[in-house]
Structure formats: structure tokens, C-alpha cells
A and B are shown apart, each in its own frame.
Chain A
Amino acid sequence: MRIKRIWAVVLRQAYLYRRSLPRLLEVFYWPMVDLLLWGFVSLYLQRASADIPDFVIYFIGALILWDILFRAQQGISVSFLEDMWARNLVNIFASPLKIQEYIIGLLFISILKVTIAFVVMSSLAWLFYSFSIFKLGVSLIPLVLNLMAMGWAVGIFTMALILRFGQEAEVLAWAVAFLFMPFSAVFYPVDTLPPLLQKIALFIPSAHVFEGMRILIDKKVLSIKHLSMASALNLAFLSASTLFFAKIYRTARKRGILPKIGE
């Protein structure tokens, strides 16, 4: 055992983290998300466990729906990372492919990933917990579409950040969606959140989707109010993320980042 050699291993990681804000943020990002998420779940259970009509539907349904958002986002940002890791982005961007075509191609991958994940999760939920997500009926469709739209918006935003900050920002591909999780009120109603966070949740499309899901389970009706809010916010999210990506892409071409990304 040589202390210097062990120190070299520590030093290698320390150098890496010293210069990389995304990596540094990740150190306390996940504990913070976990604390917020499970803290609010515990609060909700403490306050209303006796009043929750169907525990299994609430939680497993929410989990399956959240995964739709997450997979939709991953379908965009991780597919982009695959090209970056393969040092293939120069080949892609030097081809006649237009950036819009590239994004639409990634959307198709995202739909495929979501479909596979949805089939697997809903089958396992039915097999192990006798829970069928299809109990929610056709009203499930607009909820799913809204979650996918939000996943795409977050995915395009994440892709722009990776394009801007390069390989060191790749952790964002797994982290950004979870930033929205506590505010999305996935496993508890929005009114469980403190007043300030409730106000933030008003502007998060997924919060309206999950509120809509709970109303659908409780009252068997699709809340048009929450559906409209989710759709309008998603439109804004998608427009903003696409404009942000277009701006970053233009800047990347100006600053010569495109050929260097992934190095």
C-alpha cells in the first residue's frame, strides 16, 4: 500500500469536481430531491392515510405515469449522448441532416422507448399487484400525451445544456427531470406542498397531469381545467426549450463547440 498512489486516485477525482459545476451540483442534488420527495410523501401519508381511497392505484398509477415523462425525456437526451459518446456528432452535423430532422428523429426514438417502458411496467403491475392502469380508461390518453410532451421539452432543454457545457454536463440527462418531481406532486396532492411550492407547481405541466389523474381515480371524470392548463403549459415549455436549443446550437456553431463536443 502506497499512500501517494491512493492520493493520486483522490486527486484525479478532486481535479474533475473542482472544475465541473454540474458534477459538483450532483453531489447534493440527489439527496435534496430525495428529501423533498419522500418528505412530502410522508407528510401526505401522515395527514391523510385514512382518507386515501385506493392506495395502490394512487401510487403505482403515479409511478407508471411518471416513468412516461422520464423515458420521453431520456429518449431525447440519452440518444443525443449516445452520439456524443461515439464521437459521431461531427459526422451527423456535417451531413445534410437538418437540426429539426435530428430532433424529430429523436422524438420517434422517445415514443418507442416510452411504449416499451409503458408495456413492461403496466404488464408487471398487472402481474404482481393486479393493478391495471387501463382502469383509468380513454382519459388516460390525454394525460399520457401531456407527460410525453413535457418529457420532450425537458429532453430538448437538457440536450441544449449538454451541447453548451459538453461531456461534463451529461449527468443532467438523468437529473433534470427529477428536479420537477417534488413540484409535480406525483405521489401526493399539490396542497401537501408549502404555499410557495404550490405556486411553483401551478406552472409545471406534470403537476396538473397528476392532479388530473387523482381526480380521475376519485371521481371518474377528466378534469378539463387541469388538462387545459397542462396542455397550455406544455406548449409554452416546448416552445421555450426549442428556442433555447436553437439559440445554443447557433452559439455552438459560432464558438466552434460543435466539433469539440464529447472531447
Chain B
Amino acid sequence: MEILKVQGLKKVFNSVIALDDLNLTLSRGEILGILGPNGAGKTTLIHCILGLIEPTEGEISIFGKDLTLHRSEVLKRINFASNYVSLPYSLTPFENLMVFAHLYEVKNPAERCHRMLRLFELEHLCNRPTRRLSSGQIMRLNLAKALLNKPELLLLDEPTAGLDPEIARKTRDLLLKLARTEGISVIYTSHNLKEMEEVSKRVLFLKKGKMVAEGMVNDLIRQYGTASLEEFYFKVIGHED
């Protein structure tokens, strides 16, 4: 079942083309990795899918519904976490989650918030102001917020940046488990290519807003004659330059 369909997506900021004729689909339970150097358009793509940026051209349909026409209805079923976005520091983790539980109209909000805090090992910090949390703990809180509404589509922009290796591994394992057992579809950006290889079966390579490669990780590695996704990455960059 197709969860997300992006057709002919183009975004131009002044005269700079941030996304150029992008087409992609995402199936239920699939984790799609978005690769690319800084300024490739990865975050712009995520922001377009979240309805934060209006595309210049093209269509985005989520759960078979046009995002522009059914924005609120669609956003209720998706969520996101980003290393570049924060939660109010003066609120406690529990209060922050409660705010978003209400925004997403989560049933039994307090119970769900505590469950998420436990899942991300933040329960003992639930009454401490968020400003007193470490950057890794704040990222975990962002992830807890992202799973609060049991999203069917999850958008993660460098979600493990700033996490220690153990928590990063736990996060990856959790994503894989959620995709497998709950059928959550995930779009994932990361500069950690080893992690990307571990998490995503399929990747999409963006460069200067254009999709320069797309396919299953193993196929791409084979096709480009490389030993790993990292080697593939540098080869694609080299090719395009």
C-alpha cells in the first residue's frame, strides 16, 4: 500500500532551485533513507512533506490524500523529529509531551506520555526542566514526541545526531521494530552512512535538489561496483562533479 506519493516536486527559493522534479513513493512499513551532501534538499523535502513549505510545482499525496487540501487530517497521522528543532526548555519533558499529546488528540495522554518517556529512558527526568537535559536526552525527547500519536508516517531529520552510540543503536533498533511490527513508514536523513545502510533497505540520493540515484541499497552498491554505501556515496558525488 502506497503511503506517500510525491510527483514532479519542485521548489525554487528566489532563483535557487532547492528541489527539482522529484518523484518518490513510500510503501507501508518501508524505511527510505535520503542521502546527500549539505544543501542537497533533504530537509526542504521533509519540510514540503510536512506542509511547512509550499512547493513551487508538483503534488504531494499522503495516505491517498492531497496534502494541501487535507493538511490537518493528514498531519494527525504523521509526525517528525529533527536534530535542528527543539522543544520549550522551560517546560519539563512530561509537560512538553502533554502539549503535543493534546495537539495530536492522543487518547489517554498522560498514560501515553509516561509510556514514551519510559521507552526512551527519560522517565526519571520527567519533572526536570528540559533545559537541564543533555543534548542526547533532548533528542530522545524529540523522538518520544514523534512517536506520541502512533504515526503511520514518520519523518526523521538526522535523528541520531548527538546521541551516544548505545542510545543511537537502541533508536535504530526501535525504528526497525516499529516498521516491522506496526507497519510505520519512515523517511530518514542521516550523514551516518553506516547507520543508513543498517536502517534503510532503499535510499534516494539528492544532489543540488535533483535525485541522482535511487534504489535498494544492495542493488546500488552492486550497480556502482562499490563495497559499501559510504563508497557509493563518494562515487556518486565524484560522478556528478
Contact = CB atoms under 8 A, between A and B. Distances in A.
A97 B51 CA distance: 12
Nearest to A88: B88
A86 B87 contact: yes
A96 B76 contact: yes
A258 B53 CA distance: 7
Interface residues of A, number: 21
Contacts of A90: 52, 82, 85
Given A91-B145, A94-B50, A94-B75, A256 B44 contact: yes
B233 interface: no
B105 interface: yes
Contact of B88 (A82, A95, A250, A253): A82
A79 to B, nearest CB: 11
A96 B85 contact: no
Contacts, number: 65
A93 interface: yes
Given A96-B73, A96-B75, A86 B86 contact: yes
Secondary structure of the A side of the interface?
A: helix
Contacts of A259: 43, 47, 52-53
B105 A96 contact: yes
A91 B75 contact: no
A190 B145 CA distance: 53
A201 B159 CA distance: 54
Interface string A68-108: 00000000000000110011101111111110000000000
A96 B62 CA distance: 14
Contacts of A91: 85, 87, 100, 145
Contacts of A219: none
B51 A94 contact: yes
Given A253-B54, A259-B47, A94 B87 contact: no
Interface in A215-263: 250, 253-256, 258-259
- For A82, A91, A92, A256, the residue with the greatest tally of chain B CB atoms inside 10 Å of its CB is A91
Contacts of A87: 84-86
Contacts of A253: 51-54
Contacts of B100: 91, 95
Given A94-B52, A253-B54, A259-B53, A88 B75 contact: no
Nearest to B145: A91
Contact of B104 (A83, A86, A95, A255): A95
Contact of A258 (B43, B52, B89, B90): B52
Contacts of B87: 86, 88, 91
Contacts of A93: 51-52
Instruction: List 6 tightest A-B contacts by C-beta distance, closest first.
Output: A86-B88, A87-B86, A96-B76, A94-B50, A95-B103, A96-B75
18 contacts: A86-B87, A87-B85, A88-B85, A88-B86, A90-B82, A91-B87, A92-B103, A94-B51, A94-B75, A94-B80, A95-B75, A95-B100, A95-B104, A96-B75, A253-B53, A253-B54, A256-B13, A258-B53
Given A86-B88, A86-B89, A93-B52, 18 more contacts: A83-B88, A86-B87, A88-B86, A90-B85, A91-B145, A93-B51, A94-B80, A95-B103, A96-B72, A97-B72, A97-B103, A253-B52, A253-B53, A254-B54, A256-B11, A258-B53, A259-B43, A259-B47
